[in-house]
Amino acid sequence: MDKQRTIKGRIKLEGVGLHTGEKSRIELIPALANTGIIFVRKDIPESALIKADLYSVLTTDEFPRRTSVGGGDVYIHTVEHLMAALCLLGINNLQINVWGEEIPGLDGSAKSFVEEIRRVGWENQEAPRRSLTIKEPVWVEENSSSSIVVLPYHTLRISYTLKYEDPLIGSSYIDLVLNGSLWGNLHEARTFCLEEEVKSLLDMGLGKGSNYENTLVVSKKGIVENKLRFPDEFVKHKILDLIGDLYLAGNIRGHVIAIRSGHSLNIKLLEQLRKYKEKVTRAGLRSQTFISETGELNTEEIMRILPHRYPFLLVDKIIYLQKGKKSVGIKNVTMNEYFFQGHFPGRPIMPGVLIVEAMAQIAGVLMLACEENKGKLAYFMAANNVKFRKPVEPGDQLLIEVTAGRIKSRTAAVYAKASVGESKVAEAELMFALVKA
């Protein structure tokens, strides 16, 4: 699957959080290409937006036995089963509105999420799917008995070894390859725990919403008031959790070999993947060379040139680049943009200063694409003759054209205009200082 993907219609689900025991509901909404997976807390006075990525994941030291994302004082807990469903179905772009602190636990698996997404369907988008390609080993270990290593591989492959002293769970091994499609009954595997763990979990304030229907409780006599859906349900649920956790790193191309891993070790691996991604991105920045005079750049390639990152990277794609002369870029304006939460929330419009900033970023690509400016930074100096002609609203696509005026070794001047459809919405003359990084 080479294209990005979103769902075709809205999905609503509600239930009780497995750990908080509180009622919650979610709404899944289609999103434009290059949006990513965005959570929006709707139950607080000022809706908080949390992007599901390597920078929003929280440690299990503070929030054990689950995967949580957030920032500041705003959290969303137990996202792993939903994230696993999105990974299995290849969904790259989605807005998830959440009323509550925790994703509904439902039956303790990803089954309901998968079934609802399959019911409304999905559609491929024009933008290419981006991946984190592993080119050298990345690994973590814990207590000398649990470890994960990721090795180079052309797609996502999982090899998982489960080992419990409990005779019912015992030892299991599964090796599977994922490429944006369901893998058997993996999504139906439910969460489980040992009966001897229940009291300690409740004492920690966890498992308040768990019961014998949504959690397989394993006692010395067998599974309490329930039964396995399939013989390898235990190991498949561990893989489901691992897939959901790893999807916070986006689409991974690598062979993941895991031995007795859980959320704690999975999240430690995410930290190492973040460091790996930053390292290869910095290396790409130093070595970036444009082979042709014209061409397209996706978000990952733009980030090798510009120092901007989410949420301040305001360019989704460069669709035309002629070094030293002209660049054309696109910014898809979606309702999930962080600035709509406080900028005219009753009638959301994109702030004019951010339209100018988007112009400046596309101008930065134009200037820094020149061989003589390779490795430099472009600092905004001045904006002259700025004119805003029409509001930019959610759902608009900004087409920004930047034409070079004077580009010298230390300074540059450009003319930029932004359009929505056939209408010009803004224009400006911009000046920059070019300095060594």
Among 3.10.129.10, 3.90.550.10, 1.10.3720.10, 3.90.1150.10, what is the CATH number of 288-436? Answer: 3.10.129.10
Q: b/e map of 86-112 (b: 16 or more CB within 10 Å)?
A: bbbbbbbbbbbbbebbbbbbbbbbbbb
Cα first-last separation, the chain:
37
Give me the pLDDT at residue 281, please: 61
Asked whether residue 43 carries a pLDDT value surpassing 50, the answer given is yes
Chain segment 167-205, per-residue pLDDT in tens:
999 999 999 998 766 788 999 999 999 999 999 999 888
For 293, the 3-state DSSP assignment is coil
Bridge partners (DSSP) of residue 331 are: 398
Sorted by sequence, the CB contacts under 8 Å of residue 414 that are 6+ apart come out as: 363, 366, 367, 402, 403, 404, 405, 407, 429, 430, 432
Tokens 């933008």 correspond to 127
Q: Is position 187 annotated as part of the catalytic site?
A: no
* Catalytic residue from among 77, 81, 187, 263: 263
Torsion sign over Cα 201, 203, 204, 206: positive
The ranges of the chain annotated as CATH 3.10.129.10 are: 288-436
Q: Dump pLDDT digits (tens) for 241-294.
A: 999 999 999 999 999 999 999 999 999 999 999 889 877 765 543 334 343 344
Nearest in space to 113 (alpha carbons), one of 274, 247, 287:
247
| 81 a catalytic residue | no
Pair of tokens at residue 369: 């694409």
The one-letter amino acid at 383: A
**Predicted pLDDT of residue 50:** 87
Strands 192-194 and 216-219: parallel
Average pLDDT of the chain to the nearest whole number: 88
Q: What is the pLDDT of residue 373?
A: 73
Residues 296-324 have a mean pLDDT of: 80
Give the homologous superfamily in CATH for domain 3-278.
lpxc deacetylase, domain 1 (3.30.230.20)
Residue intervals in the chain for CATH 3.30.230.20:
3-278
Rounded to whole angstroms, the maximal C-alpha distance in the chain is 80
